[in-house]
């Protein structure tokens, strides 16, 4: 993976997920994939995830794993980052944070897409230049053809109560 960012860790195929939304996503992904390597986007029903949608991020894999385009950013994630990056690529979204941030984010998505693995990242992201709280995120691959990953679904979680006390609401 790319240059390591201080205070951020990762784990492939985590077995213990403390946050209920991460545990839900892992169980939901496992249920939807059945005996296949991974489910397709068509298998994912937002209505079945309604209590967790605010934490979800969906990204398209661009050709050659060159980048990833954010298709959906949940409202809680948007509130955390204080901006909406829907429609932007990872490179565009992290450009203002510098090359190390871009490389790290791309490396995480590439790992999930290339190796077709479930990946958890966690830590604090004060390196983004803001006073962010600790996060915990789970990434799962999706594939329309059962082989090549064409989307990555993730849940980005943090202590919502602490964050809302700390910052004014955007809307």
pLDDT digits (tens, 9 = 90+) for 126-160: 655 555 567 899 999 999 999 999 999 999 998 75
Task: Check: CB of residue 138 under 8 Å from CB of residue 25.
Answer: yes
Task: Check: CB of residue 62 under 8 Å from CB of residue 89.
Answer: yes
pTM above 0.75, yes or no: yes
In tens digits, the chain (171 residues) has pLDDT values of: 444 556 778 899 999 999 999 999 999 999 999 999 999 999 999 999 999 999 999 999 999 999 999 999 999 888 877 889 999 999 999 888 788 888 989 999 999 999 999 999 998 766 555 555 678 999 999 999 999 999 999 999 987 554 444 445 544
CATH topology for 8-166 is Beta-Lactamase (3.30.450)
Task: Check: CB of residue 69 under 8 Å from CB of residue 62.
Answer: yes
Whole-angstrom CA distances from 126 to 10, 15, 105, 132, 134 are: 17, 27, 14, 6, 9
């Amino acid at each position: 993976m790319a240059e390591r960012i201080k205070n951020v860790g990762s784990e492939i195929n985590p077995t213990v997920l403390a946050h209920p939304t991460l545990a839900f996503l892992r169980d939901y992904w496992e249920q939807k994939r059945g005996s296949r390597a991974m489910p397709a986007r068509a298998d994912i029903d937002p209505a079945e995830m309604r209590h967790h949608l605010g934490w979800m991020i969906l990204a398209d894999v661009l050709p050659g794993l060159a980048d990833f385009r954010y298709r959906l950013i949940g409202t809680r994630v948007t509130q955390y980052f204080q901006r909406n990056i829907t429609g932007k690529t990872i490179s565009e979204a992290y450009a203002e944070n510098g090359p190390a941030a871009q490389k790290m984010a791309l490396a995480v998505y590439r790992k999930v897409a290339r190796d077709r693995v479930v990946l958890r990242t966690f830590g604090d992201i004060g390196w983004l230049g803001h006073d962010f709280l600790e996060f915990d995120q789970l990434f799962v691959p999706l594939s329309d053809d059962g082989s090549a990953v064409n989307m990555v679904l993730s849940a980005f979680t943090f202590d919502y109560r602490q964050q809302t006390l700390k910052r004014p609401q955007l809307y």
